[in-house]
Chain A
Amino acid sequence: MIIGVDAGITSYTEADALAGSLPARLSSAGDLAGIHTATHTVQVGDPRFVVTAFWPPGAHPAGDAVWTAVLAAVPGAGIVLTAPQEQDARTSGPDLAVLGAWVAATRIARGLSGRVVTWPGAAELTGRMPLAEALERGGLDGVEVIGGDPAGPDETFDPLGFVRPRWRADGCVLQVQRGDDGVLVPFEPEHLPR
């Protein structure tokens, strides 16, 4: 199941915050185990962020309950609820916002892109640990070193308290770069430069 939410957000921190808070906002829908949330940049219409919540194939809550919860959680937004194999969706909201939500949901459905904010295992990534352990405990499907040689399982990873993997065809992938002393750190820093 995939939910797309286009609330017309143009601020990076607001988009991140909405994605981070969606699980709590949807709690009335019941057991949300396995939920992922992500942000997307969408340029159909004025450039803006769209947020998705999704469950990889397997268990997910009942569609009706989630639909009711998301309508209440983000009133007025463009919202779609669909599934990877479906061509259609439940939709609500202004046309252009529904389209934005569709674009983002499509990217998740096809494993194209998504900046993942919430996923099972996120809370496990604290403190330095070997990369293999980070992937295992953090529930990540892979790692990509940007601008450097591939990483070995024994290399040290330091999450620096802020990790935003990417959603791709091969799942939830951690993007890292080599920092001071060769330690692997997330490519995306918590605080973007001015």
Chain B
Amino acid sequence: MADLPAPARLDRTTAAALDTSIPDANLSQAQLSRRRLLRSAGVIGRVAGGAAVPFEPVVVSGPGRNRPLRDSAVRHWLAGDHHVHTVFSPDGVHTVLDQARHAHDNGLGWMVVTDHGGPTHVRIGAELTAPEVRTARRALPELLVFQGLEWQIPAAEHGTVIVTPGPGDVDLLTEFERDFDANVTGSTAWTRANEALAVAGVRWLGAQVDAGRIHDALFLANHPSRQGLDTPHELRNWRDADPRVAIGFEGAPGHQAAGITAPDGPGESRGYYGRDRGTDPNQYQAYPQESYRTWGGFDWMTATVGGLWDSLLAEGKPWSITANSDSHDIYLHPARRREALTKADFDRDGRYPPPEYRAGLNTKAGDYWPGHYSRTHVGSGTRSYRGVARGLRDGRVWVDHGHLVAHLDVRVRRAGAPPGRGVTIGGTLAPPRGSRVEVTVRATLQDRANGAGFVPSLNRVDLIRGAVRGGPAAERDRFTAPDTRVIRSWDTSGSRGTLTLVHAVDDVDEPFYVRLRGTDGNIGQPGLLGPSIDPSGPRMDPAGAADPWLDLWLYSNPIWVVPS
């Protein structure tokens, strides 16, 4: 990290002490004491970010109008996609309307246009996008089309910024992009100053909500493990900077067709997760090689039971997952960007013209249309922009691939409560200490063919439980949760219609969370942290040989149980 004074003496002791890829435990006494000296002098160390809270019962407490919705008020589960590119991205192909039409046809109720932040987009792109978004809203009244941004986060990866539509929404997004996008401000390198700029960006969005400039603003980290750039402490710092705004990350990245074997497909890594430790100096060096690949199509942070996502949840603070298309260029689609066009054309015009028909199927493209393969289901009180934003913030989210199930209802209730009662995904049940609670899963199994033309089967359901222990300040870079594991699996093969599963927890005394995972059961292997944690988890997707339709998973957000 930057801001380093020249040490008095350059020797191996200093070199080892300064090299934060070496854990304290591997240093000699002399090296460790040198490191302590350097740390106390502020030469090494991380951005402090928000102060860690020892333990806070999990409930998102927003300002009045953004209070979590009561479960009984949830009337709609709307599938959506918060990561879609258009002709206003330098690597985009399709128009806003074309993306929206496909989203609608694939059954989505909402989507977010997230073109890349950058000098051209901030200059004219965002402004040119607005009328096309309005056109799509008029043409498809059943689809909520947010205009958002794919933020190049300073010192980190990409992220989605969502704002609810309203007067001045695009101006606000543009101000944000001008001041905080790393492509605009030249702040991509991993330095303390750039980490702080990202935190300031999250706070700025929250401040605009507080000032009444906009009803709601959300931020989610996209493809967080792809390049090893989003460190655990940055994720925590964003969250703690304003937990109303920084609400989660992509549990599964887009580009799910990228791993289809050549020549029928791109033959690359699923999700374009094909990087490697040691190939980018901005990487967080403690992440293992395994983090650079997808696992059953999901990001390592989410797919590892007891991994990074669970380490966040174990602090008792909400953090949501999503699954999106990252749709740029569509697998097997014959329309492509006009051949003669260059980045210079894009920079001049702020956009590309609509694509042209080209004979032959595009087997090199790695993306699906919004909703074709990946869905983020959000529980909302109303079919509205504000309702979807609130549902996302409340964590009322589950995600699936390949339309694995038609609908999912997970609840936790006190034993004996009537069916259909209890808190649902994202919520917190506060039963008296010592009581018995039941986790109830009702899955409406799929009876319609998905985008690949077959009816998928939910063949196994796993219940995952994790202890909530708070988050000590010293553990900002933690990415394991030792008290999280799969506690029950159901073989659900051969089921039809609606499936009901119940798991009872007796004598509840400590806070915990439960979350759900389901799969077609085609492919699996013991989890990364061992079979006692996860007997049959997802497999690391093999390079150039990952057919996404043969490896389907669903994940729910947690439900919290905090006995009182």
Interface pick from A25-33, A43-51, A132-140: A43-51
Asked whether A109 is an interface residue with its Cβ less than 8 Å from the other chain, the reply is yes
Asked whether A129 is an interface residue with its Cβ less than 8 Å from the other chain, the reply is no
The answer to whether A98 touches B10 (Cβ under 8 A) is yes
The answer to whether A99 touches B7 (Cβ under 8 A) is yes
Contact check: which of A45, A47, A146 meets B282 at CB < 8 Å? A47
Interface pick from A55-63, A66-74, A119-127, A179-187: A179-187
A143 to chain B, nearest CB (A): 13
Asked whether B64 is an interface residue with its Cβ less than 8 Å from the other chain, the reply is no
Contact check: which of A46, A115, A181, A189 meets B191 at CB < 8 Å? A46
Q: A43-B1, A96-B6 are in contact. Are A148 and B281 (CB under 8 A)?
A: no
Ranked nearest first, the 6 interchain pairs of A and B with the lowest CB-CB distance are A147-B540, A102-B15, A47-B281, A180-B545, A188-B276, A193-B272
Asked whether A91 is an interface residue with its Cβ less than 8 Å from the other chain, the reply is yes
A interface residues, Cβ below 8 angstroms from B: 10, 12, 39-49, 82, 86-89, 91, 95-96, 98-99, 102-103, 105-107, 109-110, 112-113, 115, 146-148, 166, 175, 177-181, 185, 187-189, 192-194
- How many B residues have CB within 8 A of the partner chain? 51
- B43 to A, closest residue via Cβ: A44
Among A10, A115, A179, A181, residue most surrounded by chain B Cβ atoms (within 10 Å)? A179
A5 to chain B, nearest CB (A): 14
Q: What are 19 A-B contacts defined by CB distance under 8 Å?
A: A41-B280, A44-B1, A45-B1, A45-B2, A47-B189, A48-B281, A87-B11, A99-B10, A102-B11, A102-B12, A103-B15, A109-B12, A115-B278, A146-B540, A147-B293, A189-B274, A192-B275, A192-B276, A193-B273
The answer to whether B278 touches A87 (Cβ under 8 A) is no
Among A86, A91, A113, A193, residue most surrounded by chain B Cβ atoms (within 10 Å)? A193
Q: A44-B18, A179-B544 are in contact. Are A193 and B268 (CB under 8 A)?
A: yes
- A47 to B, closest residue via Cβ: B281
- B267 to A, closest residue via Cβ: A180
Give the CA-CA distance A114 to B446 in the complex, in Å. Answer: 49
B18 to chain A, nearest CB (A): 5
Asked whether B261 is an interface residue with its Cβ less than 8 Å from the other chain, the reply is yes
Give the CA-CA distance A87 to B34 in the complex, in Å. Answer: 15
Interface flags, B463-488, vs A, CB<8A=1, else 0: 00000000000000000000000000
The answer to whether A146 touches B290 (Cβ under 8 A) is yes
Give the CA-CA distance A18 to B490 in the complex, in Å. Answer: 54
The answer to whether A187 touches B11 (Cβ under 8 A) is no
B interface residues, Cβ below 8 angstroms from A: 1-2, 4, 6-7, 10-16, 18-22, 26, 44, 91, 189-191, 258, 261, 268-269, 272-276, 278-283, 285, 289-290, 293, 295, 525, 528, 539-540, 542-545
B53 to chain A, nearest CB (A): 28
The answer to whether A179 touches B289 (Cβ under 8 A) is no
Give the CA-CA distance A148 to B538 in the complex, in Å. Answer: 11
- A40 to B, closest residue via Cβ: B278
Give the CA-CA distance A103 to B282 in the complex, in Å. Answer: 16
For residue A185, which residues in chain B have a CB less than 8 angstroms away from its CB? 543
The answer to whether A49 touches B261 (Cβ under 8 A) is no
Give the CA-CA distance A12 to B281 in the complex, in Å. Answer: 8
For residue B44, which residues in chain A have a CB less than 8 angstroms away from its CB? 44
For residue A113, which residues in chain B have a CB less than 8 angstroms away from its CB? 21, 278
A163 to chain B, nearest CB (A): 12
Among B261, B279, B280, residue most surrounded by chain A Cβ atoms (within 10 Å)? B279
A184 to chain B, nearest CB (A): 10
The answer to whether B279 touches A188 (Cβ under 8 A) is yes
Give the CA-CA distance A166 to B288 in the complex, in Å. Answer: 13
For residue B273, which residues in chain A have a CB less than 8 angstroms away from its CB? 193
For residue B191, which residues in chain A have a CB less than 8 angstroms away from its CB? 46-47
The answer to whether B10 touches A106 (Cβ under 8 A) is no
Q: A88-B11, A147-B540, A177-B543 are in contact. Are A41 and B276 (CB under 8 A)?
A: no
B360 to chain A, nearest CB (A): 22
A127 to chain B, nearest CB (A): 18
Give the CA-CA distance A99 to B70 in the complex, in Å. Answer: 57
